[in-house]
Amino acid sequence: MEAEAVKSNLVLILDYGSQYTHLITRRIRKLSIFSLCISGTSPLQSIADLNPRVVILSGGPHSVHADAAPSFPEGFVDYVEAKGVFVLGICYGLQLIVQKLGGEVRIGDRQEYGRMEIEVTARASGLFGSKEVGDRQSVWMSHGDEAVRLPDGFAVVAKSDQGGIAAIENRERRFYGLQYHPEVTHSPEGMETLRYFLFNVCGVTADWNMEDVMEEEIKTIKALVGPEDHVICALSGGVDSTVAATLVHKAIGDRLHCIFVDNGLLRYKERERVMETFETDLHLPVTCVDATKQFLGNLKGIVDPETKRKIIGREFISIFDMFAQDLEHKLGKRPNFLVQGTLYPDIIESCPPPGSGRTHSHTIKSHHNVGGLPKDMKLKLIEPLKLLFKDEVRELGKILNVPQGFLKRHPFPGPGLAVRVLGDVTEGNALEILRQVDEIFIQSIKDAGLYDSIWQAFAVFLPIKSVGVQGDKRTHSHVVALRAVTSQDGMTADWYNFEHKFLDDVARKICNSVRGVNRVVQDITSKPPSTIEWE
């Protein structure tokens, strides 16, 4: 999906740090419109190269009055007006438009947070369409500053119950603004507003679908990989790498060589189960490499999560290079490319937060897909899923005839159980305990018919022991945590509310079946403020 192929209908989101920014991208894609999200402080040339039809300025935690407040680049206004690009500011984005185009933004006397009623104040607006003056709707507000004087040519088209400006527009200059968040479910009519704006006002067409994505990616892969080139694909056993491999296999056939690495950090019987699926259901050419000693040897004594991830990424590449050398001996030609199942959330979460003053990545998670690759890696990367969210990958996998049961598998982190054993993964029998606990938890979820209702579920081995009583004896044993979340794309998540009896049964099974565990706790934190994984 190169920008050239989709730019005529591209909706580009400039991210200014709102926790909801990714939701704008998702909501627009649900309308079958291609959307991308880049940093709000990206240079003008980066925006121009994408040649968007619409630019959306996201919300953010900043005040436009702050010295380090992020803003669109110099020349942005001239560029969008010269090209006829439509601009929609949301929350902070509205305030940015007002301030930069000659209006005034002040710290609000009455801040607006949470649910609030707004009232349409103008007929036939570009934001509310056929809604009449006086029509009301509930929206989600989240701002302390407010626009108090609009730039010349702008009109107020909606106000809040408190009298604050809720929506503005200048149809001649193609600038629009919403002081609330239409992308969240707490704004029930928000999608209707976005739909009307994009289709009726901006003239965007709904021409983006997974079939086109597949065909476009196949063309891109064929253009990148020469007719005599060979490609390695690192299969993790998860949905992402499997769909990526299937897509590349469709593009170049037997010149794809898959490798599955048992790094000693896999789940219970993962190697046997995954290899059977690859060989029986997907018919992918896969070589299994047992590198348990290599990985665990290099992880011994390591407790820092980022260091663990970097080591794992480095060892994977080392094995891939060795695999490439072996193939070179067999084929007489060294493979030049490595396929990875990097997704869009991996990229978004590895971007610097606007307004942070950082030019490097302020990492939420350093995925070995994104942040753990050595600079001197000999293989060139192919990441055919890098612009897709998880549910889109599953949709693509369905088109590629990947078995439905496999596509429904919960996500599993690239570094494996290394990020679910807090501390040194090689200490004692932590990995074996975690595998047994995790298996009981996941199987119980499946037996209860809950697996497909949960985005991700897993157990975590905690680096602490607690006092217990087992078999009439005092014990000092390990504590494990259970984590289960619901989500649409992994960018935000809420904890799954199990029935008490289910948790009671699972905790009893774990403590009665897994030697060395005497306490089970549940993680009931959403994302944000936490992440889904613990490390």
Q: Which residues are annotated as a binding site for ATP?
A: 236-242
Q: Which residues are catalytic?
A: 91, 181, 183
What is the rounded distance in angstroms from the CA atom of residue 406 to the CA atom of residue 278?
10
DSSP SS3 for 236: coil
What is the rounded distance in angstroms from the CA atom of residue 69 to the CA atom of residue 151?
20
Rounded to 5°, angle at Cα 324 from 323 and 329? 100
Dihedral (CA of 435, 436, 437, 440) sign: positive
Please state, in angstroms and as integers, the Cα–Cα distance from residue 339 to each residue in 232, 240, 246, 256, 336, following that order.
6, 11, 11, 9, 10
Tokens of 249: 């296999």
Chain CA centroid to CA 356, Å: 20
Across the chain, which distance is largest between two alpha carbons, in Å?
A: 80
What is the rounded distance in angstroms from the CA atom of residue 111 to the CA atom of residue 109?
6
Nearest CA to 519 out of 435, 433, 422 is that of: 433
| Angle, in degrees to the nearest 10, between helices 390-399 and 210-224 | 80
Please state, in angstroms and as integers, the Cα–Cα distance from residue 375 to each residue in 313, 317, 323, 372, following that order.
12, 11, 19, 9
DSSP SS3 for 261: strand
What is the rounded distance in angstroms from the CA atom of residue 436 to the CA atom of residue 322?
32
